[in-house]
């Protein structure tokens, strides 16, 4: 079949035509094809059928077999006028086939409001060489409907309002030139709807308010040069939806408020051009949507308000190109942007998600997760392996940063620590110093837990010995001062130490192992308990009045307390200055 011709010439000969199946026609149409340079590139023979004979067969309710025929000016509108039939009254067509046929018309090839009987209806391999092709309001019976390998040279094809029964609708390998391809308001039955490997060229491709039933919708490797691709308000049933390796060209791609049903949706390796990509308000009852390794060009990408609370959606290794990307107030079960380059503003303020996976990403602009006018309910956030030259807008408390990282089931302690470190540095860069402290504490805690786990895995004496430095860090750095982030916690710890050592001096006095002695004959008549606490205070703060001194075991305790006092004052100074300078 010759498809890449720019012009053609038809010559009808009074020579009998015999088809492969034995059907005969009194005349033969010779169609010669020419390229854009006017050079002949091929020719085909068709039976030249009288259009009045075609109308007669329709009127008499006989099978209409047009395989390998040349059919000029076919029009059911003309048929109705000659037979006094209302403009929108269905015209029954029985036993139809037009494989490898050649249609042409000055205005349009008109099958509007036709009613095809049960059985296969095939235009496989046919040419619609001139004029629009209209199937508006047509009704098809049970059986496969085949437009595979068909050429629509005019590019204007209309199936608006058609109804299909059980069976496959096959539009594979077809070529539709520039124009409006209108599949709006169609009702498909159960079965496969396939536009695989079809070339739609430029223009509008419209599936607005179309209903797809159970089965399979196949748009795999379809190529669109540019214009508009519009599926909004369409509804899919329990249907596998395939857009794998589809090339949308520079089209405006519109899937607004589409109900994707409960099947699996595949946009893997699909290529979107420089037009807007819009999935706003799309919904899915369950299943998976995959955009793995898809490519997107210039223009905004709108995934706002999507209702997919039970659906997993993956954009792993997708190239989002230029332009902002927004998932504002959408709901997913899980959403993955793993290994993507997030080079422009990403609005990830999700209304709900069990998991947001942005691991192994490179963020060069802004990721927005901070709630504004609705709560952002993300149960788990995976940022492991992220590179962050840009910034994340996130709030420690409102986004529950502690929980969304701790809840990760597949990451290691070391990976969790690294994610808290990323948040700590991000909060520092955005001036959220309270949040920075919270993230820093969790980073140090998980870093310590990870180190202990790694030492325990070595076994033997290393496992036992590792508890000593770990316990020291846990007590001194974490519990006493929250890693120098809380001056108040350090002061509280100072009071605890003062009470502890004061009580210890008193118990030592009672046991007779040591005591505190007044060198000035105790002019204030302090009891042994109060003198113990007084001595603890002047020792802890290294005041050194000398009016009370220790003897016995109390000397050793005093030396130890003096060291701790110097350490705690230094600890407080670091924590206080760190807080004041920021």
What are the CA-CA distances from residue 465 to residues 450, 453, 462 (Å)?
A: 15, 12, 5
- Domain 487-581 -> CATH class: mainly alpha
Domain assignments of the chain as residue spans, ordered by start: 1-48, 487-581
pLDDT band at 292 (very low <50, low <70, confident <90, very high): very high
Indicate if the pLDDT at residue 520 is higher than 90: no
First-to-last CA distance in the chain?
76
Question: What pLDDT score does 173 carry?
Answer: 96
Question: What pLDDT score does 72 carry?
Answer: 95
In this structure, the strands spanning 353-357 and 346-347 are unpaired
Distance from C-alpha of 104 to C-alpha of 127, rounded to nearest angstrom:
8
The model carries a pTM of 0.85
pLDDT by residue (tens digit) across 531-573? Answer: 888 898 988 888 878 888 889 998 999 999 899 999 989 988 8
- Pair of tokens at residue 354: 């069990």
Nearest CA-CA partner of 366 in 342, 331, 385, 383: 342
Distance from C-alpha of 507 to C-alpha of 536, rounded to nearest angstrom:
13
What pairs with residue 253 in β-bridges?
Answer: 229, 277
In this structure, the strands spanning 366-368 and 250-254 are unpaired
Distance from C-alpha of 356 to C-alpha of 571, rounded to nearest angstrom:
38
Distance from C-alpha of 556 to C-alpha of 79, rounded to nearest angstrom:
116
pLDDT by residue (tens digit) across 226-248? Answer: 899 999 999 998 889 999 999 99
Q: Which segment, 171-175, 405-409, 471-475, is predicted with the most confidence on average?
A: 171-175
Per-residue pLDDT, averaged over 88-103, amounts to 95
Number of Cβ within a 10 Å radius of residue 146: 24
Pick 417 or 20 by higher pLDDT. Answer: 417
pLDDT band at 285 (very low <50, low <70, confident <90, very high): confident
Q: Helix crossing, 433-458 with 413-429: angle to 10°?
A: 160
- Pair of tokens at residue 465: 């010995």
Question: What pLDDT score does 377 carry?
Answer: 94
Indicate if the pLDDT at residue 204 is higher than 90: yes
Number of Cβ within a 10 Å radius of residue 21: 8
Q: Which residue has the tokens 């001096």?
A: 505
Distance from C-alpha of 264 to C-alpha of 218, rounded to nearest angstrom:
12
CB burial readout 34-59, b (16+ within 10 A) else e: beeeeeeeeebbbbbbeeeebbebbe
pLDDT band at 313 (very low <50, low <70, confident <90, very high): very high
CB burial readout 513-538, b (16+ within 10 A) else e: ebbbbbeeeeeeebeeeebbbbbbeb
Distance from C-alpha of 256 to C-alpha of 278, rounded to nearest angstrom:
6
What are the CA-CA distances from residue 533 to residues 66, 520, 537, 548, 560 (Å)?
A: 111, 17, 6, 11, 15
């Amino acid at each position: 079949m010759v498809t890449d011709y720019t012009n053609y010439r038809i010559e009808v000969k009074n020579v009998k035509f015999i088809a492969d199946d034995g059907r005969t026609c009194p005349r033969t149409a010779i169609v010669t094809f020419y390229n854009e340079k006017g050079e002949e590139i091929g020719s085909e023979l068709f039976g030249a059928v009288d259009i009045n004979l075609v109308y007669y067969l329709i009127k008499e309710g006989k099978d209409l077999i047009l395989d390998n025929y040349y059919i000029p000016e076919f029009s059911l509108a003309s048929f109705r006028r000659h037979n006094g039939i209302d403009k929108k009254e269905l015209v029954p067509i029985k036993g139809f086939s037009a494989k490898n046929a050649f249609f042409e018309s000055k205005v349009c090839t008109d099958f509007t409001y036709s009613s095809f009987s049960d059985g296969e209806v095939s235009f496989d391999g046919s040419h619609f060489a001139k004029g629009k092709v209209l199937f508006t309001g047509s009704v098809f019976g049970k059986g496969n409907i085949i437009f595979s390998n068909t050429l629509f040279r005019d590019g204007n094809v209309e199936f608006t309002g058609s109804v299909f029964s059980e069976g496959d609708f096959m539009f594979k390998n077809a070529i539709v030139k520039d124009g409006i391809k209108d599949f709006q308001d169609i009702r498909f039955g159960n079965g496969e709807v396939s536009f695989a490997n079809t070339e739609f060229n430029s223009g509008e491709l419209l599936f607005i308010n179309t209903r797809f039933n159970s089965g399979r919708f196949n748009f795999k490797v379809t190529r669109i040069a540019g214009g508009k691709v519009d599926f909004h308000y369409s509804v899919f049933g329990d249907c596998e939806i395939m857009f794998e390796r589809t090339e949308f060209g520079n089209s405006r791609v519109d899937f607004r408020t589409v109900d994707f049903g409960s099947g699996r949706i595949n946009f893997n390796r699909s290529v979107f051009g420089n037009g807007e990509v819009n999935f706003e308000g799309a919904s899915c009852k369950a299943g998976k949507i995959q955009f793995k390794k898809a490519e997107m060009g210039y223009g905004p990408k709108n995934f706002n308000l999507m209702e997919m609370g039970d659906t997993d959606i993956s954009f792993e290794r997708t190239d989002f190109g230029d332009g902002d990307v927004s998932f504002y107030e959408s709901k997913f079960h899980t959403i993955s942007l793993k290994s993507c380059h997030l080079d422009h503003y990403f609005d990830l303020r999700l209304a709900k998600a069990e998991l947001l996976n942005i691991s192994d990403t490179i963020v060069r602009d802004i990721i927005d997760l901070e709630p504004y006018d609705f709560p952002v309910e993300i149960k788990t956030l995976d940022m492991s392996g992220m590179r962050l030259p840009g910034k994340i807008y996130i709030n420690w408390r409102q986004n529950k940063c502690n929980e969304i990282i701790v809840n990760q089931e597949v990451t290691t302690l070391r990976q969790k620590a690294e994610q808290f470190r990323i948040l700590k540095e991000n909060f520092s860069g955005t001036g959220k110093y309270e949040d920075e402290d919270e993230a820093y504490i969790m980073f140090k805690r998980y870093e310590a837990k990870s180190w202990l786990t790694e030492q325990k895995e070595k076994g033997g004496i290393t496992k036992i010995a590792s508890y000593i430095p770990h316990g020291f860090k846990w007590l001194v750095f974490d519990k006493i001062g929250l890693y120098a982030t809380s001056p108040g916690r350090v002061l509280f710890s100072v009071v605890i130490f003062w009470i502890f050592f004061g009580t210890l001096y008193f118990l030592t006095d009672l046991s007779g192992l040591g005591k505190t002695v007044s060198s000035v004959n105790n002019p204030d008549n302090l009891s042994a308990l109060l003198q113990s606490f007084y001595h603890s205070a002047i020792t802890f703060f290294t005041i050194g009045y000398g009016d009370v001194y220790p003897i016995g075991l109390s000397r050793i305790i005093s030396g130890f307390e003096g060291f701790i006092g110097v350490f705690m004052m230094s600890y407080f100074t670091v924590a206080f200055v760190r807080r004041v300078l920021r």
